């Protein structure tokens, strides 16, 4: 079929693509992915073909491979970890009068796919005329359950439109699915080639199960399927099983006007320790629960769960329909990445694709957990509990590096460092402070003493010990942290990175405060009063470089003395720079891959004056090229704070639409969770001006000229409230719980039973900052949109 427009329709609560664009399948398979933090399934068609990149993932399930080194060195990680495409249960093949239902053949009169953010389902509607002229309607709907963690469910309906038709369905469990890997590393490709070894196969009636084990990492996973069939008379079924395939075949003559309806239930589980019978019992129990609940029950549970989520987390944007859609899309995928992770990591791509090998980065704590802390705090707690569960590995890594405390990895699946590039990996010690920052934020926002006793104090303590071991007092009695890499990966192994030093200072202070609050936990961890005093002294004397001549903070010591990058002579085709220039040249120039010092202005904003923020932002705007998807959101937040609201609006659009517009041309490998979180940050921390320094909430709301109104919701210490922003005023409204104490543009107020409306003071920003040549963010043009066609609206 032809499709005049190749893109998504704009609707507030849905993402819809009409028509079939085969060359865009990898992209839409990522955006239409479903997950719950435990299971992730890419949005491939049920028939299995045509396809871009199939994928079914279990959080934390990986295979090992050797790491590539041209020349090794002491302390280099030895083993890499790569997420595995596990047993695919999405496949339901259809034959119509012995002709395979394949969208590349015949004619698709109608075809659309819709991801619904309120029901948590992906729906497909197709009317297809086969090459020999048979006309059928196929409707599918799938979900990954938020309420039943192990469960995926699919409903598949076939309706003949031109007479009685013989229909055959083949419902599969398929392991070791053939995939063309696009990795350039032959070690990774080899690890992903048939990574699963069969240990058990079973099939009987409508039910089947397969148990497999990875060849090197030794992890075991099980997948099982069961079915309910609503059919005309004359149904015939057979079920077969092999090592890597279980298949239920259904054949029946469907009269014109009747429907063959198949409901497929799937259950997944994995373990590093449980036996084959135990794991099989786990998925059997998951299936039993799903079948007992039924399709309608699963749908009702899914919608109820999402109703509760949106009641706490929704953001309403008036004046930009595309940004409204993108924001809810972002929040929905953040929810899918973390809702049921339950002491597992939140990978950089969530469970939407194999990008970054399925690794978790510091993106989780510094971006994603900010969102979850104030919208779904139990998910933030789970993600931080995973970090705590990996403390032994972090201690071992620190010891290997000759340090005390815990050195958390830059990238990992199981908690062990697996970055083969040590300047960006090993030297990025800021990760440990980022994790501690997220712990402190969660504790302040939740008052969760149980978590602090069980996990929080220990994380804060071990990371504080790392900084005392890594840093030292110099001859001026300043505490220095030398030879580290900050968030900007174009400046590696530098001395006194301002972001790292300020985050380490906060880490030391938070560790001292937690140990003082809980002396019995401190005693168990061997923390003495003398150690706490040393933490506080190091924090008080932390060296924060400042360039008196330029009146800005150098990103790291000496950074402002480097040569500037010649942006005017850099072709646009040479971005991202790391793919076209040697790292050593980037390291010795004033060129910034992603917000670094500017990120410090946000997360450690209480360490800068307003004037310093404005000067620093302008200075680094002229040097930041945004070769990382992490950058735009932070630039949006600080642009809003210093008064450049329309620039903030443009950066927010870039962050929120990174995946829907495929800004970095890599959505095929999965979505960018941190950039999706950036949509929330741009609205709440940017235009809402929300800050949480010292555990207190403050707001300084302002609107850009393109928006008519903004409202966001959040929870804090058991209170749920909404903030509504207009050009001249803001209203704070308590939705549930006890009154909340906040500050509005410096004025303390209480959000209580009655809404509080306060004026927004005028702002007079200085000269607009300039960006490097060709790196200005795209202007937002919300009027150039494709309206939804026939989609139900709220």
pLDDT in tens, 114-160: 999 999 999 999 999 999 999 999 999 999 999 999 999 999 999 99
**pLDDT tops 70 at residue 787:** no
**pLDDT tops 80 at residue 186:** no
248-to-89, 172, 207, 228 alpha-carbon distances in Å: 12, 7, 8, 12
Secondary structure (DSSP) of 108-177: EEEEEEEEETTTTEEEEEEEEE-TT--EEEEEEEEEE-SSSTTEEEEEEEEEESSS-EEEEEEEEEESS-
Residue 651 — very low, low, confident or very high, per pLDDT cuts 50/70/90? very high
Spell out the residues 6+ positions from residue 585 whose beta carbon is closer than 8 angstroms to its own: none
Residue 77 — very low, low, confident or very high, per pLDDT cuts 50/70/90? confident
Q: What is the pLDDT of residue 791?
A: 39
DSSP type of residue 14: E
Torsions phi, psi of 67, nearest 5?
-90, 140
pLDDT in tens, 279-305: 999 999 999 999 999 999 999 999 999
Q: Which two tokens stand for residue 749?
A: 């107020």
715-730 mean pLDDT: 97
CA distance 385 to 380: 9
Q: Are 661 and 667 in contact (CB under 8 A)?
A: no
pLDDT in tens, 522-538: 999 999 999 999 999 99
Looking at the chain, the whole-number percentage of residues with pLDDT higher than 90 is 89
Q: What is the pLDDT of residue 102?
A: 93
Q: What is the pLDDT of residue 420?
A: 81
Spell out the residues 6+ positions from residue 561 whose beta carbon is closer than 8 angstroms to its own: 554
Bridge partners for 714 per DSSP: 721
**pLDDT tops 50 at residue 645:** yes
Q: What is the pLDDT of residue 6?
A: 57
**pLDDT tops 80 at residue 794:** no
Q: Are 670 and 353 in contact (CB under 8 A)?
A: yes
Q: What is the pLDDT of residue 70?
A: 66
Q: Are 702 and 711 in contact (CB under 8 A)?
A: no
Q: What is the pLDDT of residue 2?
A: 38
103-to-26, 50, 173 alpha-carbon distances in Å: 15, 7, 22
Residue 424 — very low, low, confident or very high, per pLDDT cuts 50/70/90? confident
Q: What is the pLDDT of residue 90?
A: 97
Q: What is the pLDDT of residue 778?
A: 82
Q: 10 Å Cβ neighbour count for 716?
A: 23
DSSP type of residue 653: H
Residue 41 — very low, low, confident or very high, per pLDDT cuts 50/70/90? very high
Secondary structure (DSSP) of 450-498: HHIIIIIHHHHHHHHHHHHHH-EE-TTS-EE--SB--S-TTS-SBS--H
List the beta strands (DSSP E) in 257-296: 260-271
Q: What is the pLDDT of residue 415?
A: 94
More confident residue, 544 or 782: 544
Instruction: Show which residues are catalytic.
Output: 489
Q: Are 519 and 529 in contact (CB under 8 A)?
A: no
**pLDDT tops 60 at residue 790:** no
Q: Which of 58-72, 440-454, 472-486, 580-594 is predicted with the least confidence, judged by mean pLDDT?
A: 58-72
CA distance 636 to 641: 9
Bridge partners for 41 per DSSP: 34, 56
**pLDDT tops 70 at residue 184:** no
**pLDDT tops 50 at residue 203:** yes
More confident residue, 14 or 341: 14
* Among the listed residues 387, 382, 389, the one whose alpha carbon sits nearest the alpha carbon of residue 361: 387
Spell out the residues 6+ positions from residue 669 whose beta carbon is closer than 8 angstroms to its own: 30, 53, 182, 349, 353, 354, 355, 356
Count helices and strands (H / E) in the chain. 20, 32
Kindly give the interhelix angle for 457-470 and 529-540, rounded to the nearest 10 degrees.
60
Residue 566 — very low, low, confident or very high, per pLDDT cuts 50/70/90? very high
* Among the listed residues 598, 605, 584, the one whose alpha carbon sits nearest the alpha carbon of residue 771: 598
When the pLDDT of each residue in the chain is averaged and rounded to a whole number, the result is: 94
CA distance 174 to 90: 9
- For 495, counting Cβ atoms within 10 Å of its Cβ (0-12 exposed, 13-18 middle, 19+ buried), the class is middle
Secondary structure (DSSP) of 160-221: ESSS-EEEEEEEEEESS-------S-HHHHHHHSS-EEEEEEEEETTEEEEEEEESSS--EE
Q: What is the pLDDT of residue 783?
A: 55
Return left, alpha or beta for 342; rule: phi > 0 is left, psi -120 to 50 is alpha, else beta.
left
CA distance 14 to 372: 22
495-499 mean pLDDT: 98
Q: What is the pLDDT of residue 5?
A: 43
**pLDDT tops 80 at residue 460:** yes
């Amino acid at each position: 079929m032809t499709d005049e427009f190749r893109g998504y329709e704009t609707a507030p609560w849905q993402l819809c693509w009409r028509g079939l664009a085969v060359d865009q399948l990898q992209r839409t398979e990522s955006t239409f992915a479903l997950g719950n933090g435990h299971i992730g399934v890419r949005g491939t068609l049920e028939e299995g073909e045509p396809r871009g990149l199939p994928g079914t993932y279990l959080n934390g399930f990986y295979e090992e491979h050797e790491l590539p080194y041209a020349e090794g060195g002491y302390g280099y990680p030895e083993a890499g970890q790569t997420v595995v495409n596990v047993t695919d249960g999405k496949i339901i093949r259809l034959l119509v009068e012995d002709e395979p239902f394949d969208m590349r053949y015949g004619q698709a009169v109608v075809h659309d796919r819709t991801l619904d953010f309120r029901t948590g389902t992906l729906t497909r509607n197709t009317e297809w005329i086969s090459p020999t002229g048979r006309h059928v309607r196929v409707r599918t709907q799938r979900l990954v359950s938020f309420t039943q963690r192990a469960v995926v469910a699919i409903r598949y309906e076939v309706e003949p439109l031109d007479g009685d038709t013989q229909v055959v369905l083949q419902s599969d469990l398929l392991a070791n699915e053939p995939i063309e890997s696009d990795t350039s590393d032959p070690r990774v490709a080899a690890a992903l080639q048939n990574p699963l070894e069969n240990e058990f196969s079973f099939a009987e009636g409508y039910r089947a199960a397969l148990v497999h084990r990875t060849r090197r990492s030794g992890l075991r996973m099980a997948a099982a399927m069961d079915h309910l069939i609503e059919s005309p008379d004359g149904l015939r079924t057979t079920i077969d099983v092999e090592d890597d395939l279980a298949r239920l075949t259904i054949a029946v003559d469907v009269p014109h006007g009747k429907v063959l309806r198949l409901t497929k239930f799937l259950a997944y589980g994995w373990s590093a320790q449980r036996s084959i019978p135990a794991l099989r019992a786990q998925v059997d129990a998951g299936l039993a629960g799903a079948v007992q609940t039924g399709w309608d029950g699963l749908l009702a549970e899914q919608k109820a769960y999402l109703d509760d989520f949106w009641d706490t987390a929704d953001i309403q944007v008036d004046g930009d329909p595309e940004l409204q859609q993108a924001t809810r899309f972002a929040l929905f995928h953040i929810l899918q990445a973390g809702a049921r992770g339950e002491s597992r990591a939140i990978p950089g791509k969530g469970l939407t694709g194999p990008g970054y090998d399925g690794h978790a980065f510091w993106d989780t704590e510094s971006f994603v957990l900010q969102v979850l802390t104030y919208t779904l705090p139990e998910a933030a707690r789970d993600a931080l509990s995973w970090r705590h569960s990996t403390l032994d590995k972090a201690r071992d890594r620190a010891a290997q590096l000759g340090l005390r405390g815990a050195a958390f990895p830059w990238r990992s699946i199981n908690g062990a460092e697996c970055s083969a590039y040590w300047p960006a990996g090993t030297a990025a010690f800021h990760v440990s402070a980022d994790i501690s920052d997220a712990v402190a934020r969660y504790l302040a926002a939740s008052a969760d003493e149980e978590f602090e006793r069980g996990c929080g104090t220990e994380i804060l303590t071990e990371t504080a010990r790392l900084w005392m071991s890594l840093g030292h007092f110099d001859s001026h009695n300043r505490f220095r942290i030398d030879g580290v890499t900050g968030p900007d990966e174009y400046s590696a192994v530098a001395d006194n990175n301002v972001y790292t030093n300020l985050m380490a200072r906060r880490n030391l202070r938070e560790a001292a405060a937690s140990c003082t609050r809980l002396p019995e936990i401190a005693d168990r961890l061997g923390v003495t009063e003398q150690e706490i005093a040393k933490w506080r002294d190091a924090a008080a004397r932390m060296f924060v470089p400042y360039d008196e001549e330029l009146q800005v903070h150098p990103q790291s010591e000496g950074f402002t003395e480097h040569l500037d990058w010649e942006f005017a002579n850099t072709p646009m085709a040479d971005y991202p720079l790391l793919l076209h220039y040697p790292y050593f040249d980037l390291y010795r120039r004033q060129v910034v891959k992603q917000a670094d010092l500017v990120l410090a202005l946000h997360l450690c904003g209480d360490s800068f004056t307003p004037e310093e923020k404005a000067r620093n932002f302008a200075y680094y705007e002229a040097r930041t090229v945004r070769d990382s998807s992490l950058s735009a959101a932070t630039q949006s937040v600080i642009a809003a704070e210093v008064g450049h609201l329309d620039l903030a609006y443009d950066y927010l659009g870039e962050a929120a639409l990174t995946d829907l517009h495929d800004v970095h041309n890599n959505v095929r490998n999965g979505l960018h969770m941190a950039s999706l979180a950036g949509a929330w940050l741009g609205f709440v921390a940017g235009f809402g001006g929300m800050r949480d320094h010292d555990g207190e909430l403050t707001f300084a709301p302002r609107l850009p000229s393109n928006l008519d109104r903004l409202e966001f919701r959040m929870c804090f210490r058991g209170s749920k409230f909404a903030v509504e922003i207009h050009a001249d005023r803001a209203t704070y409204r308590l939705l549930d719980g006890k009154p909340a104490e906040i500050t509005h543009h410096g004025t303390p107020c209480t959000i209580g039973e009655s809404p509080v409306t306060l004026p927004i003071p005028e702002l007079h920003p200085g000269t607009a900052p300039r960006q490097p040549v060709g790196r200005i963010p795209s202007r937002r043009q919300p009027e150039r949109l494709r309206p939804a066609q026939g989609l139900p609206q709220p």
